[in-house]
Amino acid sequence: MTNSNTQQKEETPSFSFGWEVEKRPIYYDTGVLGNQKVKNLIPNRYALVRDDNDGWLANVSDRYTPFFNRRFESIVNSYIELGSSNPIKKEFNGGGRLSVQLKNDSIESEALTGQIISDKGVKVDDAHKGYITMINGHDKRTPWMFGLTIVRIVCNNTFTMALKDMRSGKHGGNALFTGKHLKSSEIDWQVLEDSIVSASSTMKDYMFQIEQMKNKVWKKEDNHKFFMDAFGMKLNGRSKYGKRLEGLMWEFDITYNKYATQFGSDNRYTAFNAVTHIVDHDATEKQQERGWAQVGRGRAIKDRAFELLSA
């Protein structure tokens, strides 16, 4: 009998750019006797070259440290392992500028991104959660970046727009991590890699518990008590709900019924989706600007709901 986890792991497609960048020494020819020539090394100068077709990308100094394609490949595959799919890969200028994007539109991808944001302790523009975006350059000008943007990269112009958006979001840029092609930026990459590995490990356990929720029946009559507990609300001695609270309860019931119909059953995962929907989609503009669904009270509500439903 085949282990289902092993089978799933074997069947999970992996992402790859299909080539790597190399830093090669540069020589020039000096004529000697007759038609003979001698190759001379140019000191402190190197050529960035693709290893698949020997295509030249740029000339750089000895201080330049390539940011290898395989680094973003590992990040994309961390998302794919948690259920993300269809990474959008783009190459411009012969591979001098690269990008890969994933839609940040599933519970799994949003949860992983949220965990990374939370671990880093930063704020991002909550409206910019359309695409998880990785940008890199082998043209000695473009930095490497990991972050969020609503810009879908399809050409050189949209690549530049996404780069600008990640550099200059409302909170100082929507790039969660960025670095130059220098030895000193290697520590920034290490921090990013450690964050992804840690968040991915946390999320694998999270997804296991999500699967458990799907298998546990939920009673609709428990909705209101669950809502009060998840959102941290109290009656404060009153016997009835106020009008505002009644409105929130009504909205929660409608959202719950929507997901119950979508999933075809009443289970704990349905109740969890109702909470995340209200937090993510019904936040005020000011709450969205503060990123409350990712790092503020909204995130705390989702965490509390998760704990209650996975108990």
Q: Is residue 30 part of a domain?
A: no
Region 280-288: mean pLDDT is 65
Residues 193 and 96 in one domain: yes
Higher pLDDT residue, 31 or 128? 31
Q: Which of residues 143, 176, 200 is at a domain's end?
A: 200
> Each residue of 170-207: pLDDT tens digit?
544 578 889 999 999 888 888 888 888 888 777 778 77
Q: Which of 172, 200, 228 is the last residue of a domain?
A: 200
pLDDT value at 7 more than 50: no
* Same domain? 91 vs 188: yes
- Residue 60 confidence (pLDDT) above 80: yes
Domains: count for the chain:
2
Higher pLDDT, 297 or 157: 157
301 is in which domain, residue-wise? 215-310
- Tell me, yes or no, whether 2 lies in a domain: no
Does the residue 305 lie in any domain?
yes
Q: Which residues contact 36 (CB under 8 A, 6 or more apart)?
A: none
Using DSSP's 3-state secondary structure scheme, residue 257 falls into helix
Q: Is residue 68 pLDDT above 80, yes or no?
A: yes
Asked whether residue 294 carries a pLDDT value surpassing 70, the answer given is no
Length of the chain: 311
- Strand locations in 51-125, DSSP E? 56-61, 88-92, 97-103
Predicted confidence (pLDDT) per residue in 207-264, tens digit = 788 889 999 999 999 998 999 899 887 766 555 666 777 788 888 899 999 999 988 8
- Domain boundary residue, one of 170, 200, 230: 200
Residue 20 scores a pLDDT above 90: yes
Q: Which residue has the tokens 């989702």?
A: 302
Residues 167 and 84 placed together within one structural domain of the fold: yes
Give residue 9's pLDDT. Answer: 42
Separation of alpha carbons 31 and 268, rounded Å: 79
Distances (CA, A) of 89 to 36, 102, 121, 266, 299: 46, 9, 28, 38, 31
User: Do 121 and 71 belong to one domain?
Assistant: yes
pLDDT at 210: 85
The stretch 65-76 carries a mean pLDDT of: 91
% of the chain exceeding 90 in pLDDT: 41
pLDDT band at 292 (very low <50, low <70, confident <90, very high): very low
Spatial distance between the Cα atoms of 193 and 20, rounded to a whole number of angstroms: 19
Is 109 found in the same domain as 222?
no
Q: In what order do the strands lie in the sheet with 21-31?
A: 21-31, 37-50, 56-61
Dihedral angle sign, alpha carbons of residues 221, 298, 258, 285: positive
In this model, does residue 45 exceed pLDDT 70? yes
> Quick check: 295 pLDDT over 70?
no
On average, the pLDDT of the chain sits at 83
